[in-house]
C-alpha cells in the first residue's frame, strides 16, 4: 500500500464530509447558535451583577462549548451508520484509524471551528477583558479538537444503540473534565495578567495524546459496534 493512495484516501474522505456538510449548510449554524444561546442563559440565571458575570465568564463559555460539542457529536457517524457507508469504511483497504481521523477532522471543522469564531463575541457579552481574549481563543483552538477526538470514541461505542444520546453524555462528559479545568484556568490566569504557558502546554499535550490514541480506539469501537 503506497502512502500516496493513503493520503489521497484521507483527503478524499475529508472532502466528502465537507461537501456533505455544505449540501446541508442550513444545519451548519446550529452548534454555533446553541453555543451562543447557552452562554446567554447564564447571565439571565445569575442576575445582572457585572462582577459575578466576569468571575464565572471563562467557566460559562467553556461549559457551553462542552455542551455544544457533545450535542453535535452524534452526527459524526450517525448518517454513515444508517446508510451503510460505515460498513464500507470498515472494509476499506486502508487502515480504518486514518479514515476515522479524516472524519473527525471534517467534523471539527464543521462544528468546532465555528465556536472558535464566535468566542470573542461571547467574551464581550460576559465582560471578559480584551487582554484575555487571545488566550480564550487559544484554549478553544487547542481544546475543542480534543473534545471531538475523545468524543469520537464515545460515539463509536454508541452509534448502533437506539437511545445512544443520553449514554453518550454519561460516557464522554467525565473524560472532558481535564480540558475544562485547564482551559478555564488558563483564561482566568490570563485575566489577572499571569503567563499561561503551563496550562497551554498541557492542553497541547492532551491534543497530541488524543490525536495519537483516539483514532485507534474509535476504529476498534466502530468494529465492535458494527459486529
Binding site for other proteins (CB under 8 A): 1-2, 4-5, 8-9, 12-13, 16, 19-20, 23-24, 79, 82-85, 87-96, 99, 150, 153, 157-158, 160-161, 163-164, 167, 170-171, 173-175, 177-178, 181-182, 185, 206, 213, 217, 220-221, 223-227
Task: Find the shortest distance in angstroms from Cβ 195 to other proteins.
Answer: 15
Number of Cβ within a 10 Å radius of residue 104: 26
Task: Find the shortest distance in angstroms from Cβ 88 to other proteins.
Answer: 5
C-alpha cell at 105: 477532522
Q: Give dist(CA 36, CA 115) in Å, integer.
A: 9
Looking at the Cβ atoms of 36 and 186, the one nearer to other proteins is 186
Q: Give dist(CA 199, CA 188) in Å, integer.
A: 11
- Triad 10, 12, 18: Cα angle to 5°: 105
Task: Find the shortest distance in angstroms from Cβ 216 to other proteins.
Answer: 10
Looking at the Cβ atoms of 77 and 89, the one nearer to other proteins is 89
Give 40-49's long-range contacts (Cβ < 8 A, gap of 24+).
40/125, 42/126, 43/125, 43/126
Looking at the Cβ atoms of 132 and 217, the one nearer to other proteins is 217
Looking at the Cβ atoms of 36 and 146, the one nearer to other proteins is 146
Helix (H) or strand (E) run with residue 129 in it: none
Looking at the Cβ atoms of 36 and 182, the one nearer to other proteins is 182
Looking at the Cβ atoms of 94 and 113, the one nearer to other proteins is 94
Q: Give dist(CA 17, CA 28) in Å, integer.
A: 13
Task: Find the shortest distance in angstroms from Cβ 3 to other proteins.
Answer: 11
Task: Find the shortest distance in angstroms from Cβ 16 to other proteins.
Answer: 6
Sign of the torsion formed by the C-alpha atoms of 170, 56, 39 and 202: negative
Task: Find the shortest distance in angstroms from Cβ 180 to other proteins.
Answer: 8
Task: Find the shortest distance in angstroms from Cβ 40 to other proteins.
Answer: 26
227 three-class SS: coil
C-alpha cell at 79: 448518517
Q: Give dist(CA 18, CA 115) in Å, integer.
A: 17
Q: Residue 87: how many CA atoms within 13 Å on its side-chain side?
A: 6
Looking at the Cβ atoms of 36 and 72, the one nearer to other proteins is 72
Amino acid at each position: 500500500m503506497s502512502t500516496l493512495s493513503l493520503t489521497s484516501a484521507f483527503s478524499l474522505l475529508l472532502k466528502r464530509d465537507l461537501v456533505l456538510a455544505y449540501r446541508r449548510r442550513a444545519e451548519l449554524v446550529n452548534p454555533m447558535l446553541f453555543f451562543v444561546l447557552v452562554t446567554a442563559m447564564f447571565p439571565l440565571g445569575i442576575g445582572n451583577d457585572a462582577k459575578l458575570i466576569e468571575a464565572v465568564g471563562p467557566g460559562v463559555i467553556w461549559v457551553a462549548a462542552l455542551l455544544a460539542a457533545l450535542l453535535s457529536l452524534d452526527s459524526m457517524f450517525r448518517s454513515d451508520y444508517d446508510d451503510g457507508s460505515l460498513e464500507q469504511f470498515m472494509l476499506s483497504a486502508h487502515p480504518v484509524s486514518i479514515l476515522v481521523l479524516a472524519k473527525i477532522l471534517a467534523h471539527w471543522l464543521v462544528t468546532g471551528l465555528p465556536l472558535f469564531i464566535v468566542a470573542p463575541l461571547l467574551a464581550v457579552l460576559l465582560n471578559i477583558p480584551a487582554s484575555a481574549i487571545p488566550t480564550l481563543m487559544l484554549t478553544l483552538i487547542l481544546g475543542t479538537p480534543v473534545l471531538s477526538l475523545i468524543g469520537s470514541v464515545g460515539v463509536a461505542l454508541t452509534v448502533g444503540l437506539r437511545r445512544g444520546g443520553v449514554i453518550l453524555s454519561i460516557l464522554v462528559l467525565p473524560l472532558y473534565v481535564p480540558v475544562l479545568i485547564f482551559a478555564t484556568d488558563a483564561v482566568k490566569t490570563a485575566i489577572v495578567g499571569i503567563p499561561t504557558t503551563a496550562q497551554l502546554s498541557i492542553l497541547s499535550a492532551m491534543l497530541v495524546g488524543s490525536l495519537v490514541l483516539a483514532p485507534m480506539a474509535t476504529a476498534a469501537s466502530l468494529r465492535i459496534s458494527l459486529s
